[in-house]
Amino acid sequence: MRKLFGTDGVRGTANTYPMTAEMALRIGAAVGRYFRRDSRGVHRVVIGKDTRLSGYMLENALTAGLTSTGMNVLLLGPVPTPAVGLMTRSMRADLGVMISASHNPAEDNGIKFFGPDGFKLSDQAELEIEKLIEEGVSPAQAQNIGRARRVDDARFRYGERVKSSLPRNLRLDGLKVVIDCANGAAHRTAPEVLWELGADVIPIGTSPDGKNINLGCGSTQPRIAAETVVAHGADVGICLDGDADRVVVVDETGQVADGDQLMALLASAWSKEGTLKGGALVATVMSNLGLERHLEAQGLRLERTAVGDRYVVERMREGGFNLGGEQSGHIVMSDYATTGDGLMAGLHFLAEMVHSGRKASELAQQFETVPQLLKNVRYGEGQTPLEDASVKAAIADAEKRLNGQGRLLIRKSGTEPLIRVMAECEDDALLQQVVDGIVSEVEAVAG
């Protein structure tokens, strides 16, 4: 079992274990040693970050740890997470690092890693790195210490890559688009890309101050974006999260469409075009049952994985699929990117609007969702509420009541100390009862 790594890298509150400068230095040294096992040639790592204040501290500490093992560091500055995957591969780096806590509040931060192929690390690789962190690593000899320098054009390279995923002749002329950048990593890139493609751009969430990332904006809080769309008579709103690997869409009426609806749209369109590989969409256990039924009606399959976009990507690579993602808005288009890319997915939604001539509201609701209820319960350090007998009994009772009528999913969050209780059922009353029953037991145990 991994102790330090969660669903998506290492994450926590800044200046609190494990998100301290000291720990970041140790992580940098360990991962540098892991990827420098072959002593031949020049070794390099690219580091990107979002706009959190603590990013400066962690960037410097990671750089110190990496250079101490002989790695040369290329600092990209604030860029979306998918840009790090892209740059790791295009710059022939041994490793890519993204400093970000994604959709979490500004006081949190995290460290994500990409291998030389631009894909996130496997569980096994993370276990080996954890072992190196615990044991400590020997630094390089003085003459072999690495160097560090800034790369000034990373966001421009990424912007060009995102645009190249669209047909060359496609333009967004005449579309009024609200883009909410969550005061995060895409606050400059996303409005620029949309403007270059011809859209009339209304940017919000583009004034980061180190403390306002995801604050009342972005893909997890799209209310302001929805109000802006309606107030300006915009055709559509695109809402990213802090590191721009997630997206939700707001239609012209202010209604929000999540990742399930976007994946349904893209899967149907790609299937008709003959470009959907394997006749399947890969998504997690959190995706709505309505998505599964929608795909089945078209002769397509839904392949489910554990929660986390890297597990989605692993299944896509294993099965040769090219479309996958999460209900939360991670959309992975492996023909163009190695990880979830919110801006790219948003552009492909706009492309469907252009191709079809239809309104966002006509495209953003592809299927009727099965009623789904998700509640989170926070627990304290060292607590294991899911192992308590009363919680197990409540879960067993809920499964018995839902048998044949719905679906139940209970799991620990991989990024926060939360127990997530989710159920789906056509009977709203039963849905509320089973979720509340489990939540009450978990709350009682967690205090």
* Residues belonging to the active site: 102
- The DSSP secondary-structure symbol of 144 reads G
Going by C-beta distance under 8 Å and a sequence separation of 6 or more, which residues neighbour residue 338?
A: 82, 85, 86, 89, 114, 117, 118, 119, 313
Residue 149 in 3-state DSSP?
Answer: strand
**Chain position carrying tokens 């990024």:** 415
Residue 69 in 3-state DSSP?
Answer: coil
Q: Please name which of 402, 135, 404, 356 lies closest in space to residue 236, comparing C-alpha atoms.
A: 356
Which parts of 117-175 are beta strand (E)? 148-150
How many other CB atoms sit within 10 Å of the CB of residue 241?
A: 34
Give me the residues paired with residue 406 across strands: 425
CA 121 from chain centre, in angstroms, equals 14
Cα 228 to Cα 26: distance, rounded to the nearest angstrom: 44
CB 121 within 8 A of CB 41: no
Exposed e or buried b per residue across 337-369, where buried means at least 16 C-beta atoms within 10 angstroms of its C-beta: bbbbbbbbbbbbbbbbbbeeeeebbebbebbeb
Q: Helices then strands (H, E): number in the chain?
A: 14, 18
Pair type for strands 108-114 and 10-13: antiparallel
Exposed e or buried b per residue across 60-98, where buried means at least 16 C-beta atoms within 10 angstroms of its C-beta: bbbbbbbbbbbbbbbbbebbbbbbbbbbbbebebbbbbb
**Nearest-10 crossing angle of helices 189-196, 342-356:** 20
